[in-house]
């Protein structure tokens, strides 16, 4: 658990999603019109295409979090406080940090349950999404 320290922040980098990426993800996992149709999205409260909330988490989870921490995972135990605060639009730069906000021994598996706080910010530094996950990791 040398890499896991309470309060540790990890910069997971920046990314942008294209219109095509937003539409393809939404068609597969969240087929609402403001995610799948540029024209239909213009008529919604968003006035344009936006990414599905789970899309930005899934993108960074698969691309950055799993390669860094995935080999230590025993299992996930929950997601909580997942809030979609501001819409994410095509071409918008999103910066992601994850912080270890809790750690406790997990007796059933012999691992450590770690609470992760993911924070997604736009180019202005405003939070657009937050979520907490709990994942049980192997002890060294």
Beta strands across the sheet bearing 111-121: 9-15, 94-106, 111-121, 127-137, 73-84
CATH topology of domain 9-137: Thiol Ester Dehydrase; Chain A (3.10.129)
Q: Which residue ranges make up each domain of the chain?
A: 9-137
pLDDT tens for the chain, residues 1 to 140:
457 999 999 999 999 999 999 999 999 999 999 999 999 999 999 999 999 999 999 999 999 999 999 999 999 999 999 999 999 999 999 999 999 999 999 989 999 999 999 999 999 999 999 999 999 999 97
| Token representation of residue 107 | 């007796």
Query: CB under 8 Å to 40, separation ≥6 — which residues?
Result: 33, 34
């Amino acid at each position: 658990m040398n890499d896991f320290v309470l309060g540790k922040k990890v910069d997971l980098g920046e990314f942008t999603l294209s219109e095509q990426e937003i539409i393809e993800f939404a068609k597969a996992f969240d087929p609402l019109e403001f995610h799948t149709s540029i024209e239909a999205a213009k008529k919604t409260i968003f006035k344009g295409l936006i990414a599905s909330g789970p899309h930005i988490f899934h993108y960074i989870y698969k691309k950055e979090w799993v390669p860094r921490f995935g080999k230590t995972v025993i299992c996930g135990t929950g997601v909580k406080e997942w809030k979609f605060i501001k819409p994410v639009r095509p071409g918008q730069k999103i910066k992601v940090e994850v912080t270890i906000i809790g750690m406790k021994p997990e007796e059933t598996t012999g691992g450590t349950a770690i609470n992760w706080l993911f924070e997604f910010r736009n180019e202005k530094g405003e939070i657009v999404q937050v979520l907490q996950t709990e994942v049980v990791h192997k002890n060294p």
